[in-house]
Structure 1
Amino acid sequence: MPHFILDCTEPILEQKEPKEIMQEVLETAFSTGLFVRSDIKVRLNPYPLKHSLVMEGEEDFIHVFGNIMQGRTDEQKADLSRKIVAKLKELFPDVPIISMNIRDFEKASYCKKDMV
């Protein structure tokens, strides 16, 4: 925990290596002081342009879904989103759509294999 899942168009991966993109997201999330580095998980899902409709056409995009354990303030979550979007904007200044949202995991219903 936390999990950051990046959806993007395939041409994004022609500009930067997937590992580099994921590492930048990890480092930016870690820099907020909200998470332990070894707990941060990042995944990337590329989509062919023909399988997305952005700005009524085939435009590149990056969207980050941040899934974190409940307990952070709205201000902390907003800061996390701003910092990750700013880093991606720095890496991909010509990508027209870069966005992020945060969802809270509920402690009561969260389970992983070492908890059973």
Structure 2
Amino acid sequence: MPHIVIEYAAPLREQLDVNTLVHAAHQGAIATGLFNPKAVKSRAYACEDFVLGESDASTGSFIHIRVSIMPGRTDEQKQQLTQSIGQGLSAFVGAVGCVSIEVAELHQPSYFKQEH
């Protein structure tokens, strides 16, 4: 844990290296020291269809990162996490209309994980 899921406007594939984006977010989470580095899982998905405000998909762009974690972190630790990931994304901010990051706590009683 955590799971880092990055959604981004598909046209950004032409402007930025998505692999570098994923690694930057991943390293940002690890840099906090809040998690076992081997437990951090990161991935990205392109959003083909989207609307931003009153614009169409051809005139806007976004990166949204959701970091899902188990309960128990303080608000300060969650803020440290978003700031650390955000610092790692600073190289992408100029090319993107909007970058947002959220930390969400998983519902531990209903979370299932099986490892082999």
TM range (shorter): 0.7 to 0.9
Partner AA of 1:42 in structure 2: S
Q: Distance in 2 between matches of 1:29 and 1:93?
A: 21
The within-5 A match list for 1:54-65 is 54-57=52-55, 58=57, 59-65=60-66
Cross-structure match for 1:107? 108
Residue-by-residue CA offset, 1:59-96 (whole Å, 9 max, x unaligned): 10000011011111011101211222232232231312
Where structure 2 has 5 or more consecutive residues not aligned to the other structure, the ranges are: none
Residue-by-residue CA offset, 1:35-82 (whole Å, 9 max, x unaligned): 11111111111012xx11113213100000110111110111012112
Where structure 1 has 5 or more consecutive residues not aligned to the other structure, the ranges are: none
Q: Distance in 1 between matches of 2:115 and 2:62?
A: 36
How far is the alpha carbon of 1:33 from its aligned partner? 0.5
Partner AA of 1:4 in structure 2: I
Q: CA RMSD in A?
A: 1.8
Contact 2:2-2:68 at 8 Å conserved across structures? yes
Contact 1:89-1:98 at 8 Å conserved across structures? no
